[in-house]
Chains A and B, each alone.
Chain A
Amino acid sequence: MTEFFGKRWHDMGGDPAGTINPDEHDFALWEKRVDALMVLTSAAGLMTTDSLRRVLEDMGPDAYETMTYYERWIASIAQNMVEAGAVTTEELGAKMAEVRARGVTYGAAS
């Protein structure tokens, strides 16, 4: 590895990489809801595209490789909502425990 000089992991233009995988998927309801949360909280002035990306970048390359696109987005949106004062981590923790207790599938819990 060469010494780090400031090029961050997400800034990947020109990096060596494999062949393009053309597989696609249709978006699940929960993914569409994450997308809608980003659009609507931005329109409400609670976050921006830039603050979304800043958190995604700070999550690091491991998150990019191990989490799906909208998993990373909801993590970033949640952090942004805490930063904006729209929710507290305490509220989020309590609500997540309540949601988890509702059932074992997304359909049952949402």
Chain B
Amino acid sequence: MPHDHHDHSHEGLSPSGHPYRADNDTDLSYWQVMEIALRELLIKKGHLTAAQIHAQINAMDSRSPANGARVVARAWVDPEFKAALLDNAGEASRAMGFDIGPMHLIALENTDKVHNVVVCTLCSCYPRNLLGLPPDWYKSRAYRSRTVIEPRKVLSEFGLIIPEQMQVRVHDSTADMRYIVVPAQPEDSFGLSEGELAAWVTRDSMIGVSLPLAPQ
């Protein structure tokens, strides 16, 4: 499908390597009409401003897994910060300068005995104010249904095999808390700086479906 309205030259793939969702170039859908109409009405009637919408999109675009990666990397190198993070992850993230709004965040530490993984069986709760919007699979029926009953099989589909003697702890994000997994620091990364370590921390490792990876 053509993407000649976009100001980039990749062939159907975004800079992050994902296909663009058909949008500007395809027939206007009923739901897109509703979005435009509702937005314009809310602005016209004084409930919102166009500037607020623009600023909110910018704020959301600025949130990404890189933020969480910096939090985890600091926890790896700074035991005091790690203690603060495990005590109150929201406050610890705010203290690092991240604008996470009113989000209540709990950090879950992976150890050599426990592996944590996060799911929302009822909808799609995710620490969006720190990590940005959730991946599509996180919102899928398959992930939401199966992670609470067969987490090991689900993790194996992500390529992660949990040893039999290790405890798997699933966190079903049902209410007001949001969760970030603090993966165990890989031995290969010992001695690296906080900045270098952040590159090892992937989004998926903070959801709990993979381990940190050496940057490519």
Contacts and interface: CB of A to CB of B under 8 A. Distances in A.
Interface of A: 10-37, 39-41, 44, 46, 53, 56, 64, 67-71, 74-75, 77-78, 81, 86-87, 91-92, 95-96, 98-100, 103-110
Nearest to B135: A24
A106 B56 contact: no
A44 B139 CA distance: 26
Contacts of B145: 12-17
Interface string B1-31: 0000100000000101011111111111101
Contacts, number: 186
**Which 6 pairs from chain A and chain B are nearest by CB?**
A13-B121, A28-B23, A95-B37, A17-B145, A36-B56, A107-B24
Contact of A36 (B19, B41, B57, B154): B57
B88 interface: no
Interface in B135-182: 135-137, 139-146, 148-149, 154, 157-158, 172
Given A24-B18, A27-B21, 15 more contacts: A18-B141, A25-B20, A31-B23, A32-B57, A35-B56, A37-B39, A69-B136, A74-B31, A74-B35, A75-B31, A75-B34, A86-B45, A87-B41, A91-B41, A96-B34
15 contacts: A13-B149, A19-B142, A25-B19, A25-B136, A32-B60, A44-B48, A53-B123, A75-B34, A81-B38, A87-B41, A87-B45, A96-B33, A107-B24, A107-B25, A110-B36
Contact of B34 (A17, A23, A44, A78): A78
Among A17, A28, A77, A107: residue with most chain B CB under 10 A: A17
Interface of B: 5, 14, 16, 18-29, 31-42, 45, 47-48, 52-53, 56-57, 60-61, 119, 121-124, 133, 135-137, 139-146, 148-149, 154, 157-158, 172
Contacts of A105: 24-28
Contacts of B122: 10-11, 13, 53
Contacts of A41: 42, 47-48
Contacts of A35: 56-57, 60, 133
Contacts of B29: 71, 106
B47 A46 contact: yes
A103 B28 contact: yes
B10 to A, nearest CB: 11
A22 B158 CA distance: 8
B35 A21 contact: no
B142 A20 contact: yes
Nearest to B149: A14
